[in-house]
C-alpha cells in the first residue's frame, strides 16, 4: 500500500455528464498529480498541484480541472464527458519541493463513459 487512496474505484457515466474523482495523498506529501491511462498505454500527465496551486499542466482541454485542499487531498473534475475519456485515472502524491522525489500512486479510478 502506498497511502494514496482514490475514490470511487469504478464509475460509469453518460456522455455529456460531469464527474468528480477524489484523491487523498500520503501523509506529509504536499504535491498531487493526476494521470490518465488509456487501455494499452502509459499514463499521461493531466496536471499537478503544489500547496493548493496548479503548477503544471499537460495537453488536456480546460474541461479537465482540479482542486487541491488545505489537507493536500485533491479532486479531478471532468465536464462534458466524451467517450474517449474512458480510462484509468491515477493520482500520485510526492513530498514536493523538487522533481528529485519519488511519486506514490493510488490504485486508480476506472471511468467508463457510455
Partner 1 sequence: AQSVSQHNHHVILSEAASLELGCNYSYGGTVNLFWYVQYPGQHLQLLLKYFSGDPLVKGIKGFEAEFIKSKFSFNLRKPSVQWSDTAEYFCALRGYSSASKIIFGSGTRLSIRP
Q: Which residues pair with 21 in a beta bridge?
A: 76
Residue 30's SS3 state is coil
Residue 28 CB neighbours (<10 A): 10
Q: How far is the CB of 41 from partner 1 (least distance, A)?
A: 6
Residue 35's SS3 state is strand
Q: Which is nearer to partner 1, 46 or 81 (CB)?
A: 46
- State the pairing for strand pair 10-13/109-113: parallel
Residues at the site binding partner 1, with contacts judged by CB under 8 A? 2, 4, 31, 33, 35, 40-45, 48, 50, 55-56, 58, 90, 92, 96-100, 102-108
Q: How far is the CB of 39 from partner 1 (least distance, A)?
A: 11
Q: How far is the CB of 37 from partner 1 (least distance, A)?
A: 8
Amino acid at each position: 500500500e502506498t497511502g494514496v487512496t482514490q475514490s470511487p474505484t469504478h464509475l460509469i457515466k453518460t456522455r455529456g455528464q460531469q464527474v468528480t474523482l477524489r484523491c487523498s495523498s500520503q501523509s506529509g506529501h504536499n504535491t498531487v498529480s493526476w494521470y490518465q491511462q488509456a487501455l494499452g498505454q502509459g499514463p499521461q500527465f493531466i496536471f499537478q498541484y503544489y500547496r493548493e496551486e496548479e503548477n503544471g499542466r499537460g495537453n488536456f482541454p480546460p474541461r479537465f480541472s482540479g482542486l487541491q485542499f488545505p489537507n493536500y487531498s485533491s479532486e479531478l473534475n471532468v465536464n462534458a464527458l466524451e467517450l474517449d475519456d474512458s480510462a484509468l485515472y491515477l493520482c500520485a502524491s510526492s513530498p514536493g519541493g523538487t522533481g528529485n522525489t519519488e511519486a506514490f500512486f493510488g490504485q486508480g479510478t476506472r471511468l467508463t463513459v457510455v
